[in-house]
Amino acid sequence: MQVIENAVAGKRAVSSSGRRAPVFNPATGEQIAELPLSTTAEIDAAVASAKAAQPAWGNTPPLKRARVMFKFKELLDRHAADLAREISREHGKTHDDALGEVQRGIECVEYACGIPELLKGTFSRNVGPAIDSYADRQPLGVVAGITPFNFPAMVPMWMYPAAIACGNAFILKPSERDPSAPMLAWDLLMEAGCPEGVLNVVHGDKEAVDHILDHPDIMAVSFVGSTPIAEYVYQRGTRAGKRVQALGGAKNHMVILPDADLDQAADALMGAGYGSAGERCMAISVAVPVGERTADALIAKLKPRVESLKIGPATDKDAEMGPLVTAMHRDKVVGYIDKGVEEGAELVVDGRGFSLQGYEDGYYVGGTLFDRVTTDMTIYREEIFGPVLSVVRAPDYADAVKLINAHEYGNGVAIFTRDGDAARDFADKIEVGMVGVNVPIPVPVAYHSFGGWKRSLFGDHSIYGPEGVHFYTRLKTVTTRWPAGIKSGAQFTFPTL
């Protein structure tokens, strides 16, 4: 059986840890690999390797660092299908969905290729008598990323390409569920010419996370995962004096106004609610039709679409949705469906008990649709992270905005309408970090930045794009005056013009 390796100081090596975790193929339920959970000594070795490599890398001209990123992008383009196969094999998402994930990750690498421009500083001449001032952004040193199972290639690429291009060295701790795609990407970055020790990959569980958060030589930590863990990472990391960006969970709504094209809205909800089996932090999990007529018409269009979802393994080219990532997570999602029924929601389409011939041991849940969900129900308040769409009926536009703004999460939101005034008002007033107008999954492109509000983001910086460059650098301002411009005699007052 395959044993997943760490990557430290430019070399792959199997951890000596006696603690190991299984890696499964979710489509079949078969164990396909074993993952040693790194020891704290092995994490220390990775950090030491990064610390030794960073000074030279940080002093490497940005253009030379960019050339490594250009080569990395070229190799990622060439091996995109290989990365997608690894993602599908361990995560379960369809091949086309996995390819889409890889492409969005590559776009973040492409952004990092522009690092010479992004790190250009500012210069002001004669800020005082014969005094000049300039400012630039410098790397932090050793930084780390802790990434989730749902995007095993893309989310790490939200982090380490920008961090490395800025001159830092990076420690990556990927999800234990699907570790192979990050390892393949590491191979490609090494082939692209990244120096040994600049990117290290260590696998582990909470013990590894805690050691990273406490390590005195790690200056900053990026995290993506559930809100309780994001809050824990933020609190523990900042308590240790680190800069932390911790992206948490979501309950993303989509408002459908009476003037919207309901076929377009229903199609958008299908892709945004059931794509990747709902295991996306930007998945739409709540539809908010405005008015009873709109709600009735929307349910009528959604029900047959959900019932006819094509569910299968990634090897089925016609599959629209795959399995959930683990048996435990499948059972958790089924428990939420049970809870929705218990609390009085109307179950329109029931995905429990779904079984696929030949894949009976896979971790499948069928598409599930609830109507007449209320804001006090568990399935509304909590993030399910599965193929479950809840319909909450709003009597009018104002109530739709009010219920969204009252939710503890503020990650993503969408509105479907033909009314430009309503769309503009919605974008202004909604208390959510990422807004889509007739766009169901408003994930910003790589040259903008990704980040929610409220309990969907802990920290002062969003991730990737310009915010990513700011997170992985610190500002230094230098004021200069040369002897010819210095008057004799001490000056005891605070300097002014």
Report the interhelical angle of 154-165 vs 95-112 (nearest 10°). Answer: 10
Give the neighbor-by-neighbor strand order of the sheet with 412-416: 346-349, 368-371, 388-391, 284-289, 252-256, 412-416, 434-437
Question: 370 near 347, Cβ under 8 Å?
Answer: yes
Q: Give Cα 280 to chain centroid, integer Å.
A: 9
- Separation CA 493–CA 182 (nearest Å): 57
Which tokens hold the place of 332? 């958790």
* Buried b / exposed e along 136-154 (16+ C-beta atoms within 10 A): ebebbbbbbbbbbbbbbbb
Helix (H, G, I), strand (E, B) or coil at 165: helix
Q: 341, exposed or middle or buried, with CB in 10 Å at 0-12, 13-18, 19+?
A: middle
Q: Which position among 108, 113, 194, 281 bears the catalytic label?
A: 281
Listed in sequence order, the residues at least 6 apart from 476 whose beta carbon sits closer than 8 Å to its beta carbon are 135, 136, 137, 138
User: Which residues, listed in sequence order, are joined to residue 252 by a DSSP beta bridge?
Assistant: 284
Q: Give Cα 369 to chain centroid, integer Å.
A: 26
CA distances from 111 to 117, 153, 190, 194, 356 (A): 10, 16, 19, 17, 41
- Separation CA 108–CA 59 (nearest Å): 23
Active site residue 281: yes
Give the Cβ contact number of residue 41 at 10 Å.
Answer: 12
Which tokens hold the place of 231? 């809050």
Question: 385 near 336, Cβ under 8 Å?
Answer: no
Residue ranges of E strands in 186-231: 199-201, 220-224
Question: 152 near 185, Cβ under 8 Å?
Answer: no
- Residue numbers annotated as active site: 281
